[in-house]
Structures are given as structure tokens and as C-alpha cells.
A and B are shown apart, each in its own frame.
Chain A
Amino acid sequence: MSVIVTEQLTKRYGRRVGIEDLTLSVPEGTLFGFLGPNGSGKTTTIRVLVGLLRPSEGGARVFGLDCWRASHRVKTDVGYLPGDLRLYPWLTCSVALQIFGRVRGRDLTRTGGELAAEFGLEPDVNVRRMSRGMRQKLGLILALAHRPKLLILDEPTASLDPLMQDKLYQHLRDLASAGHTVFFSSHTLSEVEQLCDRVAILREGKLVADETLEALRARARRVVTMRWLEAAKLDEITVPAFLDVYERRDRQWYASLAGPVMELVRWSADQPIEDLSIGQPDLTRLFQQYYELEPGM
């Protein structure tokens, strides 16, 4: 069952296009990464999902409910952390849990208190006196405290220290293994790589990829580093079609492997190569290609 479904979702801001024809499906219980460079439409999509923006065309549904018309019902089981988190200056963690608990109609003080202890957030310090990282922690606590079925996080690790990031990742993994769905946006590949089951990539408002991380890894090319002998005549070397050389630094070449490893081994045996290394499939380059290519290519 899909928790989030968007169909040809388009959002325009006057003449400017935020997102265009976005068709997406997020299965229940997945850790779904939503990747894209700045301004690619990640936040716009998320704001449509939480009912802050009205779609110009198409539609978005969460738990089968229309995100615009039934926005308040949708959010009963949604935890949301905005990208540019702003909190009321007078708010403390304990007051926030009290107010949010009343609005949600359930007691959040226990679960919220446990999260605050885990994240190392003092319950009675107000937002005015909190650092950015502390505020982010409070935002996360408020998004997580009611154990939502769907968690929508817009670049959640911004301003968190690495230790806290690891805690959050672990928390998200636990949630996903318990059947909860996590939809989170990021422009950091490593974050998505170590956390997500599935990834969608946006570029200039358009979806350029929507696959499992396994499928992406299978398509990602290995990085090949070659070091030529000093005597080698580099101008005379014919590069085979399965090698895409993207950087030449004197006698050191960097390429991505587009064919089987054995073909490379066979070819290199006849070459004046001093050293050859074949790396792991490189997702970074794959993502860079997605970011750089024209949409639809």
C-alpha cells in the first residue's frame, strides 16, 4: 500500500514552475529519500503534502486523503519537520509538548520527555535561548513524539552534529522497521545512501529518477583509476567504449566503467599500465549525472 501518492502534481508560482508533472508513490514502511539540488522543488512538494500549498494541477494524497481538502485529517498521523524551522520564542520543550498534546488530543509528555532525554534537550529552556541545533532537536521531538505513521522531514539533519545525526538515523531506522514510513528530503547523497530504501531525484521541478537504492547501485558505475608507465605514449592510447575517462591528471587517469570488469582486466593486460584500481559502484557520480542532465534525458 502506498502512503503518499502524487499524480501529475504541478505547482506554479506565477510564471515560475515549482514542480511539474510529479508522479510519485511512497510505499508503506519505507525510508524514502527525496533528493535534489537547491531549488529543485523538494520543499514545494513537501509543502503540498502538508497542505500549505495548493496544487496548480494534478493532486497529492496521503493515506488516501486529498492533501489540500483534508489537510487537517491527513496530519493526525503525520509528523512534519519544516526545512527552515522557526519556533515561537517563548516555547520550551515541556510547554510545546503540553500544547501539541492538547491539540493532538493525546498526552505527549512521556514520549516527548523520553525523546528529549535521548536527544539531550533541556525541557525548560525557551527557544529564545536555544542554539540552532537545539531548536532542530525540539522540532524533531515535536514531529516524532506522537509516533506518527508517516514522518515528513525537510532536510532534518541541517544544523545537527554528527553524533546527533547518527541518533536520528537510528531512530528513523527503528521507526521504519516498525512499519512507519519516513519521507525525507536532502541534498546530501551520503545521508540518503546510508539510510534509504528508495530514492526519488528531482531536478528543476521534474522527477528524473525514482528507484530503490539497490537498483541505483546496480546502475552506478565503478570508478577506475589508472596510472600509466612513464614510457607510455598517452596520446596513442585508444580508450575502449566501456571506459568513460572523465579526468586526466598527467599519468593518472580517472574513468567510470560502463561494462563488465573482466573486459577491463583483459584490455588493461595489454596496456603500459603501472597501477590499476577498480573501486566500488560510485553513486556520487550517478547522482551528479542526474543533477546535470537535462530533465527527461
Chain B
Amino acid sequence: MTRGLIGKTIREVWLATLLFALAMAGLEALLAYILPKFNEALSGRWLQLDFIQGMFKGLLGTEVGSTIDPGVIASIAWVHPIVLALVWAQGIAFCTRMPAGEVDHGTIDVLFGLPISRTRVYALESVVWLVSGLVLVATGLLGNLIGGWLSDPQAPLAPGQLIIVVINLYCLYVAVGSVAYLVSSLSDRRGRAVGIVLGIVLASFLLNSLAQFWGPAKSIAFLSLQNYYRPLLVLRETAWPVKDMLVLITVGAVLWLAGAMIFARRDICTV
């Protein structure tokens, strides 16, 4: 039974997962290759501008300082809006497929004509979602290492800290996906579910950015998922952001579970 269901899910998502992973690897390679070349220019002139300082602060979630160290350069590659957009898009696209997408397309009737429980389908879908997220961040890390090596072949490869950043990013992926699962469980229309989750994620991103230079936003910044993903602090302090990761995983687990409970109890109307 498990093989059949996982096989069906993989058939549906392998191509999208592959494309997202390739895009992620390519983008990380590009950023890791290009960004070090801007180091001097950024430190010299641009960083004197308040606007640029503010932009970095908003993006990285912390003060950059007067000079740009290798940690800042490395972390930009992991908070770049396109990188985040890829992670969100993968999570949202995957987690709104079932139940919202299946209900929307009407295929859920055929699926649940089979002797399978809703919780089992939800759980097995989630397993594939978690694995596809791992593929996404792992190929991103690989791309980053390759880009860094191409940029400076003499520099030693030091993936240790980057792995911590990538795991933190994976926790963010889990949290965003769980929001999507919850909304998807409540929805009959995939488009609506995608719109709602995208709205939540963008609001979360905006809140975190605003909180860096606007007092009122700072007081509620803890509500933003982005607040718990700060690669620069990880790279500078070389420590595991255990608290941040725990918050993201806990939020993810609670929302995922809520989605599972709602899906198990709801009516399925496709007509």
C-alpha cells in the first residue's frame, strides 16, 4: 500500500522537484561565484550609504557593520530573495497539492475509493515532501560549494557552518510547508490555498524586514517565520541556532498536525 501511494506521489512531483533543485543549485553556484567579487566595492562605497545598510539589515536580520566580512558575503547567498522564493515556492506548490489540489481537480474521489485512510495519505505525502525539501537544500549547498570553489579554487572548502545554515533553511521550509498543509486542509480550491499561503509568507518576510528599522514592527517580529532564520548570525557566531530551529520545527509540527486533524474530519465535496 505504502509503495503504491509513494509511487503515485513521486510520479507527480519528481519533475518539479528536479527543476526546483536545479534552479537552486544554479542560483547558489552563481551567487557563491559572483558575490565575493563585489566584496571590496560593497565595503568601500556602498556600505556608507544608509539605504544599503538598511537593505542588508532587512535582508540578513541583523547589523552588518562597517565592513563586509566573508560571513556577510556567504550569508547573502542564503537569504537572497530568489533563493527564499524558490524554497517557498517548492513548499507551497507541494503542500497544496493534497488535499486542496486533489479536491479542486476532483481526483480525490478516485484516490479515496481505495482502501486507505486519510491520515495515511497525508502522512505519506508529507514524507515525500520532507525528502524533496532535503533534495532542494542539499543541491543548493552543493551548488554553493561549487560556486565558491570556482570563484577561488585555492580557498579551502569548509561546508561545516554552511550545513548549519542549510539545516536552518530546511526548518524554515518545514514551517512554510506546514502552513501550506494547514491552509490546504481547509480549502477546496488550490489557487485560493496558494494565494493565502503566499500572502502569509510575504507578510512574514515583510514584517521581519520592517522590524529592522521600525519600532512597532519590531515588537511583533517574533510572529515572522523569517525571524528564526538568520544565516549571518550562524556564520559569525559559528553556533547552532537551536532556539530558532526549535521554534520553526515546533510551529511546523503543530500546524502540520492541525492540518492532519482537519483533513481527517472534513467533508470532501468535489461537485
Contact = CB atoms under 8 A, between A and B. Distances in A.
Interface stretch (B58-66, B107-115, B242-250): B107-115
Contacts of B114: 75, 100, 103-104
A43 to B, nearest CB: 6
Interface in B1-34: 1, 3-5, 7-8, 11-12
B267 interface: yes
Nearest to A100: B114
Interface stretch (A83-91, A187-195, A229-237, A256-264): A83-91
A82 B115 CA distance: 15
Interface in A95-151: 95, 99-105, 139, 142-143
Nearest to B266: A54
Interface string B177-211: 00000000000000000000000000000000000
A104 B115 CA distance: 7
A162 to B, nearest CB: 25
Contacts of B158: none
Contacts of B268: 47, 52-53
A102 B117 contact: no
B48 interface: no
B1 A103 contact: yes
A142 to B, nearest CB: 7
A47 B269 CA distance: 9
Interface string A63-102: 0000000011111101111111111101000010001111
Given A54-B265, A72-B115, A85 B110 contact: yes
Interface of B: 1, 3-5, 7-8, 11-12, 105-110, 112-117, 120, 265, 267-271
Interface of A: 13, 43, 47, 50-54, 71-76, 78-88, 90, 95, 99-105, 139, 142-143
17 contacts: A13-B269, A47-B269, A53-B268, A71-B117, A75-B113, A83-B271, A86-B105, A86-B107, A86-B109, A87-B110, A88-B8, A88-B107, A100-B114, A101-B4, A102-B7, A104-B114, A142-B113
